[in-house]
Structures are given as C-alpha cells and as structure tokens.
Amino acid sequence: MPCPHRIGIGNDIHRLEAGRKLILGGVRIPFGKGPLGHSDGDALAHAISDALLGAAGLGDIGRHFPDTSPKWRNASSLLFLRRVRQLLDRAGFVIVNLDSTLGLERPKVAPYIPRMQKKVARALGLRPEQVSVKAKSGEGLDAVGRGEAVRADAVALIEPR
C-alpha cells in the first residue's frame, strides 16, 4: 500500500537593502535593512509556501503569486500562506507539520521565533507546535554570512484529508 504522506521542499533568498522593512514569518524585526522583493520579501513565508505547494504538486509561488502582478506588490506574505492553505484544501490535503530554517547573519532572530511560529500557524490554520522555525548564521560565508541576504529553507509534510 502506498504511503499517503507527501513531502515538499522550499527555499528562498532575498538581497537585503537599506530602508526596507525586515519581515520574517509575518513578524517585523527592527533592523536597518530588509529583503528586496515584489511583495514584503518574507523569505520564510515564501519557502514554506513553496514547500507546501510542491508537496501537493501545485507548482510554486511564482505561478500563484507572480512578481509581474500589481496585486502582489508590497503584499504581506501571510496572504500567500492563507491562499496556499486554500489551494491545499481544494486539492484534498491537510498539513501535518512544517520545519524551516532561516539563514541570517544579523540581527539575531531567536527572540522572534515564537511569534513567527504563531503567525505562520495562524495563517495556515495550524497549531504553533506544528510549525518549527530555526535560525542559523552564515558563519561569515557567502551572501548570507556577509550580511547581504536572508535565506530560508522549509520542508512540509502533508497527507490526504
């Protein structure tokens, strides 16, 4: 009998620019730079969206939220998560759990992680314990380590309703 569970992987990276708001997992974090993007640039929400869409075989966020559409300009990426949940519902899937990792040299985001988990969970209709968020520095390596970018990776487990 085939396993009913499906796994999806998502990742996102955004250049950090002065004067932009730093929003991760729907939480605004005080800092002098933020992600450059068509929407709010929330790399965590984007990676989670891609992981969920991929698990369900529904494409990626570029297909559902194109950066050429004025509709999504400066939009909160929590809206993306809500829409992804609706797409999964229509396709007959429920989310079992999510695991994600943020890569960011500065600022330290550990104090904000519980709020991120709650906001992501609320947007997806989950309990906060179904959403794992971890943070890693770039150890001075690559664009993340040099403080030029924020990266997020996510894995989602879904199953048929």
Within-domain flag for 1: no
| Type and span of the H or E element at 98 | strand 93-103
Q: What is the pLDDT of residue 66?
A: 84
HSE of 146, CA atoms in CB hemisphere, 13 A: 7
Measured distance CA(92)–CA(35) in Å, rounded:
33
Q: What tens-digit pLDDT sequence spans the chain (161 residues)?
A: 577 999 999 999 999 999 999 999 999 999 999 999 888 999 999 999 999 999 999 999 999 988 888 888 888 899 999 999 999 999 999 999 999 999 999 999 999 999 999 999 999 999 999 999 999 998 988 999 999 999 999 999 999 99
Range of the domain at 32: 6-160
Which CATH number fits the domain that encloses residue 68?
3.30.1330.50
Within-domain flag for 100: yes
What is the pTM for the complete model shown?
0.95
Within-domain flag for 51: yes
Question: Domain tally for the chain?
Answer: 1
